[in-house]
Amino acid sequence: MAHYNDCIIEVTQAAMQIQVLGCSGGIGGTLRTSSFLVDEDILLDAGTGVGDLSIDALAKIDHVFLTHSHIDHILSIPLIADTVQGLRNKPIYIYALAETISSIKQHLFNWVIWPDFTELPSKAEPCVSFVSIVAGQSIQLSQRTITAIPANHTVPAVGYLLDSGAGSLVYSGDTTSHAPFWAALNRAKLLKYLIIETSFVDSEEARTLAAKHYNPKMLCEDLALLNSDPEVFITHLKPDQESLIMREFEQHSPRQHINQLAHGSLFSF
């Protein structure tokens, strides 16, 4: 049980399983943008992959943890709210940095782009309730702990460390090289999986730095900072560069197996 803003959040399931709903840096065909279903009740980011869930599955989502405000990570939130508002008797709690929440309120739930579901069906019983968090803060949901960790992007951003008690997983969200991020990983207990972005090829270094993403060379250099040896999965690849990005990882790190994350993958820990 967790308490936020005088609200009581009931969570009973303790085991952690993550299903990849979307892990691409773009759309088209089977490509979906960043979204991950944790057990049945938590989303990490809310990109286009959320749309593949059934209405019953959408209605079970109680918590959404956002890494940052960019549209490929948040665009399913208004549609989830609109779809399930009549199927739930408690709010969907959306955890994010204060800056991310402000952006969503100003540019999305503003009665122009979309109705404000923090006021619908009523202000007393809204469909959506925001919970402001900061980097380093942990949210305890039954035996599951979700900790926001520092990230470095063009807008305020965090990644997330998920800890089941038996093992942990880190999802970077969008980031570039950032010493506090790697320090947080080195403090993680039983780190089994690292899901981390790489958006561009090495030859687009100027674009990579301007957009504050990773390329293979930069990420391989930073992976050397890790004190543990988790399985590494690459997410957020730009659709036209996927094959070349993965070939460059093989060139930079031939002895370390670095995997391309796949839609539909399952992680249990």
Q: What pLDDT band is residue 178 in, cutting at 50, 70 and 90?
A: very high
Tell me the mean pLDDT in the region 140-151.
96
**Tens of pLDDT along 48-73?**
999 999 999 999 999 999 999 999 99
Residue 255 reports pLDDT greater than 90: no
The pLDDT assigned to 3 comes to 41
Q: What pLDDT band is residue 8 in, cutting at 50, 70 and 90?
A: very low
Residue 115 reports pLDDT greater than 80: yes
Q: Which of 106-115, 173-182, 246-255 comes out lowest in average pLDDT?
A: 246-255
**Tens of pLDDT along 185-228?**
999 999 999 999 999 999 999 999 999 999 999 999 999 999 99
What is the residue-wise DSSP string for the chain?
A: -EEETTEEE-------EEEEEE-BSS-BTTB-BSEEEETTTEEEEE-GGGGGS-HHHHHT--EEE-S---HHHHTTHHHHHHHHTTT-SSPEEEEEEHHHHHHHHHHTBSSSSB--TTSSB-SSSBSEEEEEE-TT-EEEETTEEEEEEE---SS--EEEEEE-SS-EEEE--S----HHHHHHHHH-SSEEEEEEE--S-GGGHHHHHHHT---HHHHHHHHTT-SS--EEEEE-B-GGGHHHHHHHHHHH-TTS-EEEP-TT-EEE-
Tell me the mean pLDDT in the region 130-137.
98
**Percentage with pLDDT > 90 across the chain:** 92
The pLDDT assigned to 12 comes to 42
Q: Which of 22-26, 114-118, 256-260 comes out lowest in average pLDDT?
A: 256-260
**Tens of pLDDT along 18-38?**
999 999 999 999 999 999 999
Tell me the mean pLDDT in the region 121-147.
96
The class level of CATH for 16-268 reads alpha beta
The pLDDT assigned to 30 comes to 95
Tell me the mean pLDDT in the region 78-97.
97
Q: What pLDDT band is residue 177 in, cutting at 50, 70 and 90?
A: very high
Residue 10 reports pLDDT greater than 90: no
Average pLDDT, the chain: 94
Residue 9 reports pLDDT greater than 80: no
pTM above 0.75, yes or no: yes
